[in-house]
Amino acid sequence: IVALFVSVVAFISISKFCDGESFVESVNSSIMEWKRNIGLVIFGAVVFFLFFVIWNIAMFIINFIDTALSGVLGPLLYYIIVPIVTIILIAIFAVKLSFVLPAFAKGDNLREAIRKSWELTNDSFWNALIFIVILLIITFIIAQIFLFLALAIVALDLVFLIIGEIISTTFLALGISYYYYLR
C-alpha cells in the first residue's frame, strides 16, 4: 500500500508536469493532495481485487465447461483458452483504466477521471492498446539494460537497479500522460 501511494504521488507529479506545471509545483501539489491520492490508492486496490474476482469467475466458467464436456478440451483449454482469456482481461483493464491517473491529476474527481479515461478509449481502444504495449516493451527494455549493467558491475548493482526503475517508470508515466493530454 505504501509503495502504491508513493507510485501514485510520483505518477500524479509527472502527469501534472506534462500538463504544464513546473516540476516543483507539480511535486508540491501532488504531495499536498495526499487525501485525494489515498482515495486513488484505494481505487487501485479495488481494481486489482475486481480483476482477480472477474478472472476467477472466468476460470470457474472455463472449468465448468471442461467438466461438462468430460475433460475433452484438456490441454487446449489450459494452454490456449486460459492464456487468451487472461490476456484479454488484462488488455481491457489496462486500456480502460490507464488514463485515470492523468485525468485525476488534472483535478477531476475519481468518478470523473474514470469516465474520461473510459471515454478516451471508447473510440480508440486498439490505438491505445498498441500504444500501451509499445510503452511497456520500451519500459521493459530500459529496465533490462540497467539490470544487465547491475549484473556487469556488481559493486554498483543496487544503484543501477534503482536508476533503471526510476527511468523506466518515469518513461511509462510520461508516455501515458502525454498520450492523454495530446488527445
Grid coordinates in use for 178? 502525454
Predicted local confidence at residue 63, as pLDDT:
84
pTM above 0.85, yes or no: no
Distance CA 119, CA 55 (A): 24
The pLDDT value given to residue 123: 83
Do the beta carbons of residue 147 and residue 164 sit within 8 Å? Answer: yes
Grid cell for residue 163: 536508476
Looking at residue 69, its pLDDT comes to: 78
Sign of CA dihedral 43, 44, 48, 54: positive
What is the reported pLDDT for 136? 93
The mean pLDDT values, 10 residues at a time, for the chain of 183 residues are: 84 90 89 86 90 92 83 78 90 89 84 89 90 94 91 84 89 90 83
Identify which of 96, 97, 86 has the alpha carbon closest to the alpha carbon of residue 43: 97
- Judge whether 160 and 153 are in contact, CB under 8 Å: yes
**How far is CA 134 from each of CA 130, 141, 174, 178, rounded to the nearest angstrom?**
6, 11, 13, 14
Residue 145 pLDDT: 93
pLDDT (0 to 100) of residue 139: 93
Dist. CA 172–CA 182, nearest whole Å:
15
